[in-house]
Structure 1
Amino acid sequence: MTKTDTSDKLSSIADKSGHRKSLIIDNEYQSSEDESIKDKSSISTQIELSDSTPSDSQLLTEEISSSDTSASTSELRSRKKRSKKRTSSDSTVTIDGLIVDVGKREKILLKRSRQLEKKPKTDTTKYLSRFNDITFKTKSSTIFESNEFYETDFFGFYVLFWLSTGFIMLNSLVHIYFENTTPFWQWTTVKLLRKDLFKVALVDSLMFATSFLAFDLQWACKKGYVTWKRFGWWAQGTYDFFYLFFWLWIPSKYCLDFPWIAKIFLVLHSLVLIMKMHSYAFYNGYLWSVYNEGLFSEDYLEKLNNDEVKLPEGHDLEKTKKILRESIAFTKYELEYQAHATSEDAGHIFDKARIDIPFDELEEDGLITFPNNITLHNFFEFSMYPTLVYTLNFPRTERIRWSYAIGKILGIFGIIFLMITIAENSLYPVVLRCEVARTLPAHERVIQYFLILIDMIPPFFMEYILTFFLIWDEILNAIAELSRFADRDFYGPWWSCVDFSEFANQWNRVVHKFLLRHVYHSSISAFNVDKKSAAIITFLLSSLVHELAMYVIFGTLRGYLLLFQMSQIPLIIMSRSKFMRGKKVLGNAICWVGFISGPSIICTLYLVF
């Protein structure tokens, strides 16, 4: 390693240490779940200001220093030998990429200090991880299955909903049996589902297999064949881009020409796999930067203490040693945090006495699990979990409740049957009317549009509700149970929302968590934008993806869904105005009007115009 590389690394660590030096390490981790979303926007900066006195930080530094200097020369040399046995993907990489814009950091630190002033005195401060925005919980029941829900006075409405749905289906089936001679398997909807079924299964399997390149790239980083900072992040981002468009092209009319149901299934699954790959790759990529900083700091500090290296010009010896000790403290804290505390019930406590223990011993003891997590088995397990956000420590259930899993699987097929029945007998006739209306002159088409919309809303809204139960209550719970994934936070009480921002957070918690971490917080930290701009970026990206789904279904790029989703922004602003403040019933009524009519309005627009 050249002197220039060493000097660059030391300068980079010094820049970071300038923000870490006022921090202390406490004996437990801080969960950002206790803070509001507003506070989380400025948390993605790796560190949190401390309201401790300077003497606290000096005390920590002195403790580290005293323990470090008390180590014998033979012990230091033995640690050096152990450290040389370790392999690291970025061991020969300069830490130029770790240099941060100090001005930007200071702005965020000022914002954070104002927030800390409002916090209660009992809320102690600690190092803050870059990826502490999401904590997985051990909760193996959803809202409708929890004891709290069964004990409420509104439990009967849930039972009434399913009894009413069952009665409507029974009524339809009776009429179908006595009045329709077409067998079930010859229904138009069923034939669409059956068409090219084995080809779709094969394409989906290949799509799943090719997602494992994310693991291959991290494995190459672990073996030292490539480096994340120089090559990995660029390769992963490029692959994600081509992965999406390749699997968009395969089922399209230009290639295999699958029916629209198969197309939308494959596109949505490809988006799920892309989000999983992105989270896995960039989370591990961040840990590579932390891990290699720690290895460098530990190794170089040891060499300085043994007079084995000459410090580059422009660096003070004692100051450099102090900076390296602080770097070691933070990196060990961060790696332990990610290995244990991302699960709410982990119960792991960081002991600052472990700062003096070499990295390899912490890895052997299981206190640091990175990069040992980069295995084929670990990635396969993550690919099976019903989550899009990767971490080192997921909560698991002790066993599979087979009766529960079988009940969910039966529920999947039952809801699909209900949806097919509604589609065949209520939606399909309306769709045929849309095809006729599409051939009419413009003024007549507008009149027909509103007539068709009135008939479209009831069955389409029913499909909308059943889709929610099918995906988020049946499929995800079945997958979670079979994979022993303990966190069942798949959705919130969206039916009680008072504005569309709250609905976006509650309807699909799985995607919301991904957007929160990898779009919202990443926009703030990477592009230095404010909270409002980050929210607009997140909203726009979500809208574009939804518009892509509409293009796949209807084969036309009209922008109706994009327009309607972006129109939610002024509605959100209105819902938070003085006029709407405190009017929960009115806010919830506006949301329900949107839930009932919005999807039908959009679908009919695509079909008629």
Structure 2
Amino acid sequence: MIKRMDTGDKLDSISDRINRRDLLNINNDYNASSSDTDETESSTLEKDPADLSDVTPPISGVAEPSNSSGDGYFRRGSGTNVSRSTGKKTPSSPLANGSHVRSRKSHASRLPRVGSSSSDISDSDITLGGLVKYVSEQDHQRLLRRKSRSEDGTTKEKKKKEKYRLRFGDLSFTGKSTILDSQEFIKSEFYGFYILFWLSTAFAMCNQLVHMYFESYPPFWKWEIVQILERDIFKVGLTDLAMYLTSYFPLFLQILCKRGWISWKRTGWVLQSTYETAFVAVYLWFAHYMQYPWIARVFLVLHSLVFLMKMHSYGYYNGYLWTIFSEGLFSERYFFQLQNNEVELPEGHDLDHTIGILKSSIEFTKYELEYQSQATTNKPEQDDGKYEGIEINYSFAELQERGLIKFPQNISLWNYFEYSMFPTVVYTIQYPRTPKVRWHFVFEKVCGIFGLIFLMVLVAQHNLLPIVKRAGVARKLPVQERGGQYFFILLDMIPPFLMEYLFTFFLIWDAILNALAELTLFADRNFYGPWWSCTDFSEFARLWNKPVHNFLLRHVYHSSISALKVNKIHATLITFIISSVVHELVMYVIFGTLRGYLLLFQMSQIPLVMMTRSKFLRDKKVLGNIICWFGFISGPSIICTLYLVF
């Protein structure tokens, strides 16, 4: 049995985790690095907030927060009400000078776990001393910042907006459409180049179809690529359905936390992490065991990674909110007990200071929970009036009844089902939604999906398959004779592989994700950025696949800084290495060999990024874009040919 930490040891542990909440200032760009801020960010972000469980403060008596009045546990005119429009707070509690509460000597009696009408929280056994130490440091840091700013009205409002840097305020969900569907692009002077691309593609594909028809090419359903796609299609569909159903495990865990049967901090995150590892491993093994064709294996591994990211984001986002919620419930209850002379302060704690700390803790936890429940962007003032401000004059139970706090009510089967359908791998309680489905838009995208699949099959059958067969013959030659063959195979591979590369982009990020978003009324269509204009590969990584970029930003880059106590540069390297390893895993699934070519090319982007950001190339945007396009055109073909020939 593990020995329980005493209060002193726990307070020492908590004191090592302070200063994070108010100083959280993470650069959203996980690819950008700034050497002059690495050490300060590392020292700031290495501490995990609100780890206040498993400590027993001395009290006597038990009481529940009173909800009888309209002002909740803060008496009328007391507490702190934070307004988005004014940014002011007005403490006027009778407890400000401690006149209604008398401090008693410490006893060894235990504060029971916090109870709530909303749920039973297993993480909420918190020490008052730890909370006092934790929040007092926040007050000190806020005071230092206030002294450094002017006290005019504009600055006061700005101070409130910057008072808390929220842990999950890193992402922005908006109502943007994809670039190629936006009215700004359609009305721009460059829209003709987009039309030119598709007309050129249409002429090239028609040329191939005409040649295939008059050269007595086999009918479409007898093409080798089509037969590969058709093989085991029903078994693959059932496997994918099983993957989807088993991805509901995080919902099951959160329901157990909601009912108080397990604790996320002690048990939940361990079970989730173990399950995520087993999830990917089992389905990779099963696809290999069933001997599915390589296209099916690639589809299953990529879809399993999508489910993995969705599960991870859902579990750890709600896990963080459990920590915040339990702290808020404890602070609220202990404040009420102090107000009614039902609790004794631990020895060495000042009454007035303790009251101020409890109010600050209540204010932050309600701010965070209300913000996460209401906001759909990373700044409340950008929510088009949907997020009217912070209300803390009511108890947690009343805020939940009013719908201002939607946690843990968001933990439900319907909420998870909606999230599983949304074209995003980052979970939040509320997303921007569209009012209705535009069926003509859905029809356009569905036609695009099938049209692009046909074009990809056509290019693969007519252009790529003969080259792949040549590479198979060259692979049987002695190593010294493969070099010359590799060069000619590579030159022939580049044009069709570039077409497949571009078709893949349009198929997934423009057609499939847009169709899913429209059907699910998901308003944020910011699935990609103008990657074709990027000047270095780190910029390309941010713009090519924004849903995955958002996941890496929140759950790899930020989590590396928090959990592993590393600086920005190390967090960037960790993120890049994990991404490279996952890409190499896909190559292993396709070719059945672990060569490391893709991993090597991925990691070679680091010196290329450093080179493009050097003094010589920093302002040469055209040259930087040329280097990127040279990589887009040749890189995938070089990697694919290496796996085929060597």
| TM class, shorter-length | 0.7 to 0.9
Report the CA distance shift for 1:553/1:35 in structure 2 as closer, same or farther (over 3 A).
closer
Structure 1 position 249 matched with structure 2 position 281: no
Residue equivalent to 2:596: 559
Q: Tell me which of 363, 385, 400 is aligned to 1:347.
A: 385
Aligned residue runs from structure 1 range 209-608, under 5 A:
209-252=245-288, 255-343=289-377, 344-345=382-383, 347-349=385-387, 351=389, 354-608=391-645
Q: Tell me which of 87, 90, 104 is aligned to 2:119.
A: 87
- State the Cα distance separating 1:101 from its structure 2 match: 12
Residue equivalent to 1:63: 91
Paired with 1:239 and 1:421, the residues of 2 have a C-alpha distance of 40
Paired with 2:642 and 2:529, the residues of 1 have a C-alpha distance of 30
- State the Cα distance separating 1:72 from its structure 2 match: 11
| TM-score, scaled to structure 2 | 0.81
2:473 counterpart letter in structure 1? V
Paired with 1:487 and 1:18, the residues of 2 have a C-alpha distance of 34
2:221 counterpart letter in structure 1? W
- State the Cα distance separating 1:321 from its structure 2 match: 2.0
Counterpart contact for 1:524–1:531, Cα < 8 Å:
yes
Paired with 1:323 and 1:314, the residues of 2 have a C-alpha distance of 15
Counterpart contact for 1:61–1:325, Cα < 8 Å:
no
- State the Cα distance separating 1:316 from its structure 2 match: 3.0
Deviations 1:63-87 (A, max 9, x none): 06448899999xxxxxx9x964332
Counterpart contact for 1:8–1:94, Cα < 8 Å:
no
Deviations 1:103-137 (A, max 9, x none): xx99xx89x98xx99xx968543211101010100
Paired with 2:192 and 2:425, the residues of 1 have a C-alpha distance of 34
Counterpart contact for 2:446–2:515, Cα < 8 Å:
yes
Residue equivalent to 2:107: none
Report the CA distance shift for 1:403/1:19 in structure 2 as closer, same or farther (over 3 A).
closer
Report the CA distance shift for 1:91/1:200 in structure 2 as closer, same or farther (over 3 A).
same
Paired with 2:557 and 2:346, the residues of 1 have a C-alpha distance of 40
- State the Cα distance separating 1:15 from its structure 2 match: 7.8
Greater percentage in helix: 1
SS in 2 for 1:85: coil
Report the CA distance shift for 1:155/1:22 in structure 2 as closer, same or farther (over 3 A).
closer
Q: Tell me which of 206, 212, 225 is aligned to 1:170.
A: 206
SS in 1 for 2:91: helix
Residue equivalent to 1:27: none
Paired with 1:237 and 1:603, the residues of 2 have a C-alpha distance of 33
Paired with 1:22 and 1:65, the residues of 2 have a C-alpha distance of 28
Counterpart contact for 1:32–1:134, Cα < 8 Å:
no
1:573 counterpart letter in structure 2? M
2:261 counterpart letter in structure 1? Y
Deviations 1:181-229 (A, max 9, x none): 4111110000000000000000000000000001000011001111101
- State the Cα distance separating 1:17 from its structure 2 match: 7.7
| TM-score, scaled to structure 1 | 0.86
1:63 counterpart letter in structure 2? P
Paired with 2:523 and 2:542, the residues of 1 have a C-alpha distance of 20
Deviations 1:464-493 (A, max 9, x none): 000000000000000000011000000000
Paired with 1:101 and 1:180, the residues of 2 have a C-alpha distance of 82
Report the CA distance shift for 1:459/1:534 in structure 2 as closer, same or farther (over 3 A).
same
Report the CA distance shift for 1:220/1:20 in structure 2 as closer, same or farther (over 3 A).
closer
- State the Cα distance separating 1:4 from its structure 2 match: 8.2
2:337 counterpart letter in structure 1? K
2:385 counterpart letter in structure 1? G
Residue equivalent to 2:104: none
Paired with 1:123 and 1:588, the residues of 2 have a C-alpha distance of 38
1:258 counterpart letter in structure 2? Y
Report the CA distance shift for 1:329/1:32 in structure 2 as closer, same or farther (over 3 A).
farther
Paired with 2:456 and 2:503, the residues of 1 have a C-alpha distance of 7
Counterpart contact for 2:376–2:432, Cα < 8 Å:
no
Q: RMSD between aligned alpha carbons?
A: 3.6
- State the Cα distance separating 1:340 from its structure 2 match: 1.4
2:167 counterpart letter in structure 1? R
Paired with 1:506 and 1:293, the residues of 2 have a C-alpha distance of 38
Overall identity of the aligned pairs, in %: 55
Counterpart contact for 1:32–1:132, Cα < 8 Å:
no
Report the CA distance shift for 1:46/1:330 in structure 2 as closer, same or farther (over 3 A).
farther
Counterpart contact for 2:98–2:352, Cα < 8 Å:
no
Higher relative contact order (CA 8 A, sep 6+): 2
Structure 1 position 180 matched with structure 2 position 212: no
Report the CA distance shift for 1:68/1:405 in structure 2 as closer, same or farther (over 3 A).
farther
